[in-house]
Chains A and B, each alone.
Chain A
Amino acid sequence: MAILEVKNVGKRFGGLQALSDVNLSVAENSVHAIIGPNGAGKSTLLNCLVGKLIPDTGSVMFDGQSVLGRKPYEINQMGISRVFQTPEIFGDLTVMENMLIPCLAKRDGAFQLNGWSRIVGQRDMIDKAEEMLRDMNMIDKRHMHAASMSRGDKRRLEIAMCLAQDPRLLLLDEPTAGMARADTNNTIDLLKQIKDERDITIAIIEHDMHVVFSLAERITVLAQGTPLVEDTPDRIKGHPKVREAYLGESQDAA
């Protein structure tokens, strides 16, 4: 049922207890949002899930297997793909090449010394990449250098690259940070479409409440490194503890 199970995770940086006793359970094929004010530990938690950080205590289980101690590329091969706050793409490469790399990584694994085969000979991979680009309405940009695209397109490409790997869990780290309203709405529509069309679990960290309430089926509120409440969007909206965490004095805010 739960594809991702976080139990009693704690992480300390020197004198700062960034995470303490975090418990989180993400149900399969759901959209789960993690929200919280700045410094609540959202990014630290995410980094613990993808292998960038190793928690001091607790366990992180993905699909029944522990991810702790595994390197980011190993965790990705298990089926977790990550979208970054600022789009991380291969800027020097063309859009098509950007799409081919995750396709090849999915097929060939973490390393393949195929210096003798030719890219143009990878017909099935090229077809797959083109299909993905067509789905994303980016096929006409396939020869562009990825770095020369707009920020919205870069985000779209990054999500497409993650999806090309058919991940079971897609992690998004503030996918609409710094975006114009129109781009934000496009991204929401894109994520909704992904959710409807695929068997995929989405975990999203987000500041923008508009995004969170348009997408999430469940929301965990994090404050000062520990989960405050976990509930459905409707009940989170009016929750006094959440208001307090976000707005400080609750009576003033009301």
Chain B
Amino acid sequence: MFGLEKRDTFLLGVVIVLTLFAPFILNPFPANSAMAQFNAGYPDLMQRFVIFGIFAIGFNILFGLTGYLSFGHAAFLGVGSYSAVWMFKLLSYNVVPALVLAVIMAGLFSALIGFISLRRSGIYFSILTLAFAQMSFNLAYSVLTPITNGETGLQIYTSDPQYLQSASAPAFPNLFGAAMNSSTTLFFGGWTFTFSVGYYFCAAFLILAFYLAIRIFRSPFGMMLRAVKSNQQRMNYTGLNTRPYTLAAFVISGMYAGLAGGLLAAMDPLAGAERMQWTASGEVVLMTILGGAGTLIGPVLGAGFIKYFENIFAKINDNVLHGWFAFMPDGIEDAMVAIIHPFVGKGWHLTLGLLFMLVVIFLPGGLVEGGQRLGRVFRRKDHNAGSVESDAAQQRSEAAE
């Protein structure tokens, strides 16, 4: 009846293949070619793709399913990071206790904030979460300096106790000895592929997070969350208490954010207050909407898209532009560089903003809807990601009309 099980398995398979082969897929250009700056297959960026993918998947469980738009989820990311770094400081560089505490602390913190914020809905809920996140940011930045180390950010010093750290273990976050920053490089012709322990560690969590999200989406609980978005009045008069449903969704998404924050700290053992700022909360909203809120794969796509822009477009400076247009006569070359200049380098936000506008106006269902429309144009018989998501994307476009 809900003949989606096969498709969900397929979707999970796609995500597994993409994450496992990401070092190849994201490095399509030889290392010394002019296009090499579009390569995204280096560990630092790939880690960000999957970590923010996890963050967005979790956010989507709240926003995509229940429709409650939180503007404060970066606070839980920050709590996760601080918790993880504290575990590194107190116990050892082993990531297991760090991640466990990150998820638990983010869960507790989101239960508290959710309990208060969920007394209101719509715009008031959004404002409440925003206010709490900014309070958290300010606490981390100044008031709670003994815990957060204020504007310097929390980091690990040689004077830290690290009671469980053995002498032989690496002096960097590690999983039972496998340091997160260690990697192997494969040279193949002109190509360079880097396989990092940290990336694959995060990728495993992304796959797990994605699998859990599918289970939640297809469960009676997930259906109740969609019912919350659709009609709370009918829910109340059908004997269902909406408050614990929304709170559970809020806490689950907060724990996802905590996991993402913990992983960020595991990749680079420091935590700063800026991670909790409202711009960071806004970013995950953009990721989810850009990819397709309420769809399974959308948030992952959105996260990858935004992080790619942030890192790749931001690197394109005037020298690079001059290199591209060198074949043109001087005057035209300068003119072209002058036109494109505001959209790259520090101006990457401008490009992202334009793209975001285009997506929201023409593809209210996000990138997933775009993929779906392409799929419809080509009428392929194979099950692509688009058709799997058709339900949610269709609702989205109906709602937009």
A binding-site residues for B, Cβ under 8 Å: 50, 71-74, 76-77, 81-82, 84, 88-93, 96-97, 100-102, 104-106, 108-120, 122, 126, 145, 147, 161, 165
Instruction: Check if B1 sits within 8 Å of A118, measured CB to CB.
Output: no
Residues facing A in B356-401 (CB within 8 A) are: 394-395, 398-399
**Bound-complex Cα distance A92 to B231 (A):** 9
In this assembly, does B322 line the interface, its C-beta being within 8 Å of a C-beta of chain A? no
Residues facing A in B212-229 (CB within 8 A) are: 215-216, 218-224, 226-227, 229
Q: A93-B223, A101-B224 are in contact. Are A76 and B215 (CB under 8 A)?
A: no
What residues of chain A lie closer than 8 Å to B227, measured between beta carbons? 90, 93, 97, 101
What residues of chain A lie closer than 8 Å to B235, measured between beta carbons? 73, 101
What residues of chain B lie closer than 8 Å to A89, measured between beta carbons? 231, 234
12 A-B pairs within 8 Å (CB atoms) are namely A90-B234, A91-B231, A101-B235, A101-B238, A105-B239, A108-B220, A110-B239, A111-B241, A114-B221, A120-B1, A120-B218, A145-B394
Distance in Å: Cβ of B345 to nearest Cβ of chain A:
42
**Of the residues A81, A91, A111, A117, contact of B240 by C-beta under 8 Å:** A111
**Bound-complex Cα distance A72 to B252 (A):** 26
Q: Which residue of A lies closest to B229 (CB)?
A: A92
**Bound-complex Cα distance A98 to B219 (A):** 14
Q: A88-B231, A101-B223, A119-B2 are in contact. Are A165 and B238 (CB under 8 A)?
A: yes
What residues of chain A lie closer than 8 Å to B399, measured between beta carbons? 92
* Residue with the greatest number of chain A CB neighbours at <10 A, chosen from B215, B241, B244: B241
Instruction: Check if A92 sits within 8 Å of B240, measured CB to CB.
Output: no
Instruction: Check if B220 sits within 8 Å of A112, measured CB to CB.
Output: yes
Distance in Å: Cβ of B370 to nearest Cβ of chain A:
21
What residues of chain A lie closer than 8 Å to B219, measured between beta carbons? 114-119
Instruction: Check if A81 sits within 8 Å of B237, measured CB to CB.
Output: yes
In this assembly, does B145 line the interface, its C-beta being within 8 Å of a C-beta of chain A? no
Q: Which residue of B lies closest to A148 (CB)?
A: B398
In this assembly, does B309 line the interface, its C-beta being within 8 Å of a C-beta of chain A? no
Instruction: Check if A100 sits within 8 Å of B223, measured CB to CB.
Output: yes
Lowest 8 A-B CB distances belong to which pairs?
A: A76-B239, A110-B241, A90-B230, A115-B221, A92-B230, A111-B244, A88-B234, A72-B236
**Bound-complex Cα distance A118 to B216 (A):** 8
**Bound-complex Cα distance A154 to B216 (A):** 28
Distance in Å: Cβ of B395 to nearest Cβ of chain A:
5
Instruction: Check if A50 sits within 8 Å of B237, measured CB to CB.
Output: yes
Q: Which residue of B lies closest to A89 (CB)?
A: B234
Instruction: Check if B230 sits within 8 Å of A76, measured CB to CB.
Output: no
**Bound-complex Cα distance A110 to B239 (A):** 6
**Of the residues B224, B229, B239, contact of A73 by C-beta under 8 Å:** B239
Q: Which residue of A lies closest to B212 (CB)?
A: A115
Instruction: Check if A116 sits within 8 Å of B226, measured CB to CB.
Output: no
Instruction: Check if B215 sits within 8 Å of A116, measured CB to CB.
Output: yes
* Residue with the greatest number of chain A CB neighbours at <10 A, chosen from B216, B218, B239, B395: B239
In this assembly, does B248 line the interface, its C-beta being within 8 Å of a C-beta of chain A? yes
Instruction: Check if A115 sits within 8 Å of B230, measured CB to CB.
Output: no
Q: A105-B239, A119-B223 are in contact. List 6 more A-B contacts (CB 8 A).
A: A81-B238, A88-B233, A105-B238, A116-B215, A120-B5, A161-B238
The 0/1 profile, CB within 8 Å of A marked 1, for residues 1-16 of chain B is: 1100100000000000
Distance in Å: Cβ of A149 to nearest Cβ of chain B:
13
What residues of chain B lie closer than 8 Å to A73, measured between beta carbons? 235-241
**Bound-complex Cα distance A66 to B218 (A):** 38
What residues of chain B lie closer than 8 Å to A74, measured between beta carbons? 239
Q: Which residue of B lies closest to A117 (CB)?
A: B219
Distance in Å: Cβ of A178 to nearest Cβ of chain B:
18
**Bound-complex Cα distance A77 to B235 (A):** 12
**Of the residues A81, A105, A108, A118, contact of B218 by C-beta under 8 Å:** A118
**Bound-complex Cα distance A84 to B234 (A):** 9
**Bound-complex Cα distance A50 to B216 (A):** 32
In this assembly, does B245 line the interface, its C-beta being within 8 Å of a C-beta of chain A? yes
What residues of chain A lie closer than 8 Å to B240, measured between beta carbons? 73, 101, 105, 110-111
**Bound-complex Cα distance A13 to B222 (A):** 39
Instruction: Check if A119 sits within 8 Å of B233, measured CB to CB.
Output: no
**Bound-complex Cα distance A229 to B106 (A):** 61
The 0/1 profile, CB within 8 Å of A marked 1, for residues 172-204 of chain B is: 000000000000000000000000000000000
Instruction: Check if A115 sits within 8 Å of B223, measured CB to CB.
Output: no
What residues of chain B lie closer than 8 Å to A117, measured between beta carbons? 219-220
What residues of chain B lie closer than 8 Å to A145, measured between beta carbons? 394-395, 398
Instruction: Check if A96 sits within 8 Å of B230, measured CB to CB.
Output: no
**Bound-complex Cα distance A118 to B244 (A):** 20
Instruction: Check if B395 sits within 8 Å of A165, measured CB to CB.
Output: no
**Bound-complex Cα distance A114 to B131 (A):** 31
**Bound-complex Cα distance A120 to B222 (A):** 13
What residues of chain B lie closer than 8 Å to A92, measured between beta carbons? 226, 229-230, 395, 399
Distance in Å: Cβ of A71 to nearest Cβ of chain B:
7
Instruction: Check if A91 sits within 8 Å of B1, measured CB to CB.
Output: no
**Bound-complex Cα distance A112 to B219 (A):** 11
**Of the residues A97, A106, A114, A147, contact of B239 by C-beta under 8 Å:** A106
Distance in Å: Cβ of A104 to nearest Cβ of chain B:
5
**Bound-complex Cα distance A1 to B219 (A):** 42
Distance in Å: Cβ of B118 to nearest Cβ of chain A:
13
What residues of chain B lie closer than 8 Å to A106, measured between beta carbons? 239
